[in-house]
Copies of this chain bind each other. A is one copy, B any other.
Amino acid sequence: MTSELRQRIYQQLASVELIDPHTHINPLDAGSHTLVDILGYHYYTELAHSAGMPREQIEDPAISAKEKVGRLIEGIGPIDNTIQYSWLIDICQRFFGFEGDRLDASNWEALFDSSEAQMADAGWSDEVLRRSNVKSVFLTNDFDDPLAGFDTAKYVPCLRTDDLVFHLGKPEVRQRLEAATKVSVGSWTELREAIGVLFEHFTTNNARACAISIPPSFAPEPVSDGRVETALDAVLKDGVNADESHLRALSHRIFWTLAEMCDQYELPFDLMIGVNRGVYPTGVFQGQDLYDSRVSLIQYQQLLNAFPRVTFPISVLASVTNQELASYAWIFPNVVTNGHWWYSNTPSIIERDAAHRLEAVPRTKQIGYYSDAYKLEFVAPKFDMYRKILAKVLEEYYVIDRSWSEERAVEFGTQVLRGNVETTFKIS
């Protein structure tokens, strides 16, 4: 039903091979095995839960994959309007030959069985990548990930650092750090050394980014050596019960040190700003986090000034921060706009957020999209949603409103969709 112009722009964008610069895919188990890996995605469980399905039914450990899918199908009717549901149908049509537009009691079981047979193929993950027109995907690796057993050119490591910055008060995190680095963490000097070992390990294994997700209250600032020693002592002694001021000082200094390491190791530092964890603690797995949209990039002023050589691809959780993001990327050479994250990853929000970035930020400094997928099958439908919106925005704001040629619009879209991923993350 869209215009021919929009369809032509879309088709040209769809022909571009993708590099997905942020996912949570497990490279040792990248594709799905049954529909439960698809329907078990938190978007479906949390929406079904929100629509009335009890958590106990959804997370019952005693049931089989097939039973769980059957239950979810029963609870999923009320979410068939959502964009997330459209990804599900896209997957079923694209990969499994499904021909309907809704999954229900009449058709899910046959699909479950036939798709399970397909996914059992040893080459399934590569088949998904091929059919999705995807060259490689970035990972989200725990700091103690051995990064072994997979092709790091196809599954590109990224060092995720939330645990280091926000959870070092937990003994198990420190133990994992010591085990991974062979450094005993009793002083700041040692802790810093351990962090250095992690960067060495990750960059040696083709890591292309350091990444972290951050609550809206975070406002990092430099912390002196003396102060961090005191803070670390307190945290080593009292763990998560240490005084809030000590936990914060340690957190700020570790964060600052990560930026220093990114500078030294020439890694972009992905900041994903704005999430409050556990706002709804009785929600389903991964369906408990929300946010306070009152956050500003001014909180990162010191950081952005202190590290001019570090590239910060920044994602914001709420659309209300999008204009600040675009403005900061317009002024700071080291700020790059990065994708449309989580609660802002829906069409009407992407449409307006993307429209503003495209018109106000240098074309080289915009990473259009990442899938955030946990399973490979989701890369295609999510990117396809984005490509359609990108085509819509390019049609309206460039070809129609600004009289750009179709070629020029497609060239711009292609850079945002793919080229900037290569330049920002130095993919050769």
Residues of A within 8 A of B (CB): 1-2, 46-47, 49-52, 78-83, 86, 101, 276, 279-283, 287-288, 290-294, 296-298, 301, 304-305, 308, 318-321, 323-324, 327-333, 343-344, 346-349, 352, 355-356, 358-365, 388, 392, 397, 399-403, 408, 412
Contact = CB atoms under 8 A, between A and B. Distances in A.
Given A280-B305, A323-B349, A2 B401 contact: yes
With a 10 A CB-CB cut-off, give which of A47, A327, A349, A397 has the most chain B CB atoms. A327
Given A279-B298, A323-B319, A352-B352, A359 B331 contact: no
Given A50-B330, A280-B331, A388-B401, A323 B81 contact: no
A333 B53 CA distance: 9
Nearest to A276: B298
Q: What 7 A-B pairs come out closest when comparing CB atoms?
A: A51-B362, A348-B355, A292-B298, A78-B364, A81-B363, A292-B296, A78-B362
Given A305-B281, A331-B50, A333-B51, A360 B319 contact: no
28 contacts: A1-B400, A2-B400, A47-B362, A50-B329, A78-B362, A79-B362, A81-B362, A82-B363, A280-B304, A281-B305, A283-B332, A287-B331, A288-B331, A290-B297, A290-B298, A290-B331, A292-B298, A293-B321, A294-B294, A318-B323, A323-B343, A323-B344, A323-B349, A343-B360, A346-B356, A348-B355, A348-B359, A348-B397
Nearest to A411: B81
Nearest to A1: B400
* Copies of this chain, whole number: 3
B52 A333 contact: yes
Contacts of A344: 323
Contacts of A392: 401
A6 to B, nearest CB: 9
Given A279-B298, A347-B359, 15 more contacts: A1-B399, A2-B401, A49-B333, A50-B331, A81-B358, A81-B362, A81-B412, A82-B363, A280-B332, A281-B305, A291-B298, A291-B327, A293-B296, A293-B321, A293-B324
Nearest to A53: B333
Contacts of A83: 359-360
Contacts of A279: 298, 301, 331
Contacts of A330: 46-47, 50, 343
Contacts of A402: 86
A326 B322 CA distance: 17
Contact of A365 (B2, B51, B291, B343): B51
A160 B82 CA distance: 33
A107 B301 CA distance: 39
Nearest to A49: B333
B50 A365 contact: yes
Nearest to A83: B359
A297 to B, nearest CB: 8
A281 B332 CA distance: 10
Nearest to A298: B292
Given A352-B348, A359-B81, A363-B78, A403 B332 contact: no
